[in-house]
């Protein structure tokens, strides 16, 4: 059955979609940040970023553009990777000191998560864990502008802040429609400064977002629209930006693809590759995008044992044209898995858990923790601790090199 005929035979799931974030896309659109902040009524901006972004000169450029509009700027440059509650608390302290009325998150997902986390506590009080879940903020929140410098998380289009509880190591997903950015500025020129490893990890993460959202239980006809375009842009863009880091057109594909993937997550959640990745980051320090990339091929194979999910992979491969040559029905998931493996190898990232310090002994604990991650319940196939043990075991050994 071709995809058009398949669509006509599908009952469309109900959905409720409200766009919350204005998206401004294009090379050098960051130059509009002063004007956009002014439109939101900014008088005192808290700029949330990390030291790498300061070194790249992006923070000073944004601060200058804001100051040119008469806006006061305080810069919090202490954002850490996988930000925890202590990092957010320090950020809140500065926000209070400078009497911020607007927040700007500039950087990768961690900067945007910290900015959103800060916004929750600054405007609604209490601690980060009070907002774990959805819709727990009762008071209005400050306007947020998100400026991503990696084409990866799509956090700029999501109302969730992912903050790690320093005591329990749990990643808390704190979501509220009010936490979503009012404006996302997508400027591909800002992403050129990423180190190659960051380009690879964040790009693989963006592909994972597109593919996982396309098959979740929570997917809707609308989220699929975002997943498809996100997959088309990122699968085409990643090889190009790895090859030519200064290719602004391909950087734009990755940045827009990541934002559309983030919009898909907002509407359809994520799946088991993300559940399996989080314990790897917590216990072995594997960077999020790399951890997701290590697990995704094996999750795709696991999910494809379910006929309806195998069909969903086939449908998105056809609709996007990202797998032009397949060996017939049922092999699409395997083709996806091989392509994802190849992206890891081309990026110079280890493609086996074994090469990242993970041992067989660690698997039962990792599997137990993966099964309790909130994203696991949206995976198209039910996935229990025993299934995660199987998935981790498959990801442990090195696999023979395959041709493209």
Q: Binding of Zn ion at residue 50 (CB under 5 A)?
A: no
Nearest CA-CA partner of 120 in 93, 138, 94, 146: 138
DSSP letters, 188-254, are GGGGGGS-HHHHHHHHHHHHHHHHHHTT-TT--HHHHHHHHHHHHHHHHHHHHHHH-TT-HHHHHHH
Q: Binding of Zn ion at residue 314 (CB under 5 A)?
A: no
The helix-helix angle for 385-395 and 363-371 (nearest 10°) equals 130
Rounded least distance, CB 38 to Zn ion, Å? 33
Please identify which residue in the block is written with the tokens 């509220």: 176
Of the two residues 102 and 150, which places its CB atom closer to Zn ion in the complex?
150
Rounded least distance, CB 349 to Zn ion, Å? 15
The percent helix, strand, coil of the chain (3-state, each to 5) is 55, 10, 35
Q: Any bridge partners for residue 76, and if so which?
A: 48
Contact present, 261 and 213 (Cβ < 8 Å): yes
Interatomic CA distance for residues 373 and 87, integer angstroms: 23
Stretch that binds Zn ion, among 40-48, 56-64, 201-209, 278-286 (CB under 5 A): 201-209
Structure tokens at 61: 């450029």
Stretch that binds Zn ion, among 3-11, 115-123, 174-182, 202-210 (CB under 5 A): 202-210
Rounded least distance, CB 264 to Zn ion, Å? 12
Q: Binding of Zn ion at residue 229 (CB under 5 A)?
A: no
Rounded least distance, CB 273 to Zn ion, Å? 8
Residue nearest to Zn ion (CB): 205
Stretch that binds Zn ion, among 199-207, 223-231, 256-264, 320-328 (CB under 5 A): 199-207
Q: Binding of Zn ion at residue 205 (CB under 5 A)?
A: yes
Contact present, 376 and 333 (Cβ < 8 Å): no
Helix residue ranges, H only, 216-361:
221-243, 248-268, 272-284, 288-303, 307-320, 332-346
Of the two residues 205 and 341, which places its CB atom closer to Zn ion in the complex?
205
Q: Binding of Zn ion at residue 315 (CB under 5 A)?
A: no
Considering CB under 5 A, how many residues would be counted as binding Zn ion?
Answer: 1
Of the two residues 115 and 204, which places its CB atom closer to Zn ion in the complex?
204
Rounded least distance, CB 45 to Zn ion, Å? 28
The site map against Zn ion for 68-87 (x = CB under 5 A) is --------------------
Please identify which residue in the block is written with the tokens 């607007």: 102
Of the two residues 143 and 279, which places its CB atom closer to Zn ion in the complex?
279
DSSP 3-state of 47: strand
Q: Binding of Zn ion at residue 156 (CB under 5 A)?
A: no
Rounded least distance, CB 211 to Zn ion, Å? 11
**Which DSSP symbol is given to 70?**
T
Q: Binding of Zn ion at residue 113 (CB under 5 A)?
A: no
Stretch that binds Zn ion, among 116-124, 200-208, 248-256, 327-335 (CB under 5 A): 200-208
355: how many CB neighbours lie within 10 A of its CB? 13
Stretch 13-32 residues interacting with Zn ion (CB under 5 A): none
Q: Any bridge partners for residue 152, and if so which?
A: none
Residues 6+ apart with CB under 8 A from 395: 294, 295, 297, 298, 352, 353
Rounded least distance, CB 112 to Zn ion, Å? 13
Of the two residues 182 and 290, which places its CB atom closer to Zn ion in the complex?
290
Rounded least distance, CB 261 to Zn ion, Å? 9
Of the two residues 95 and 286, which places its CB atom closer to Zn ion in the complex?
286
Stretch 129-148 residues interacting with Zn ion (CB under 5 A): none
Rounded least distance, CB 209 to Zn ion, Å? 6
Rounded least distance, CB 186 to Zn ion, Å? 18
Q: Residue numbers of the site for Zn ion (CB under 5 A)?
A: 205
């Amino acid at each position: 059955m071709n995809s058009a005929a398949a669509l006509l035979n599908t009952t469309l799931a109900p959905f409720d979609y409200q766009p919350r974030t204005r998206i401004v896309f294009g090379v050098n659109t960051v130059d509009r940040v002063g004007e956009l902040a002014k439109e939101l009524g900014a008088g005192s901006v808290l700029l949330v970023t990390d030291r790498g972004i300061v070194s790249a000169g992006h923070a000073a450029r944004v601060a200058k553009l804001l100051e040119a509009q008469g806006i006061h700027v305080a810069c919090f440059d202490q954002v850490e990777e996988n930000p925890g509650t202590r990092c957010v608390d320090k950020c809140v302290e500065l926000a209070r000191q400078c009497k911020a009325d607007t927040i700007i998150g500039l950087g990768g997902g961690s900067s945007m998560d910290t900015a959103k986390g800060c916004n929750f506590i600054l405007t609604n009080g209490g601690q980060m864990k009070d907002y774990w879940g959805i819709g727990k903020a009762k008071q209005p929140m400050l306007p947020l502008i998100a400026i991503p410098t990696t084409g990866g998380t799509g956090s700029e289009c999501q109302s969730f802040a992912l903050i790690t509880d320093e005591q329990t190591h749990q990643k808390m997903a704190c979501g509220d429609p009010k936490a979503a950015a009012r404006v996302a500025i997508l400027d591909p020129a800002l992403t050129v400064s990423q180190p190659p490893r960051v380009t690879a990890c964040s790009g693989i993460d963006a592909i994972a977002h597109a593919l996982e959202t396309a098959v979740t239980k929570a997917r809707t006809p609308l989220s699929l629209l975002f997943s498809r375009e996100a997959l088309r842009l990122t699968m085409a863009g990643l090889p190009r930006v790895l090859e030519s880091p200064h290719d602004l057109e391909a950087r734009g594909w990755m940045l827009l693809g990541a934002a559309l993937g983030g919009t898909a997550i907002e509407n359809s959640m994520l799946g088991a590759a993300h559940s399996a990745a989080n314990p790897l980051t917590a216990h072995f320090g594997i960077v999020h995008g790399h951890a997701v990339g290590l697990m995704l091929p094996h999750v795709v194979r696991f999910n494809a044992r379910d006929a309806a999910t195998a069909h969903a992979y086939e449908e998105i491969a056809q609709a996007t044209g990202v797998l032009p040559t397949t060996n017939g029905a049922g092999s699409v998931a395997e083709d996806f898995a091989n392509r994802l493996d190849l992206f890891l190898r081309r990026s110079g990232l280890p493609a086996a858990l074994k090469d990242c310090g993970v041992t067989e002994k660690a698997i039962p604990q990792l599997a137990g923790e993966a099964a309790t991650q909130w994203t696991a319940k949206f995976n198209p196939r039910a996935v229990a601790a025993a299934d995660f043990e199987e998935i981790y075991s498959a990801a442990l050994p090195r696999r023979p090199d395959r041709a493209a």
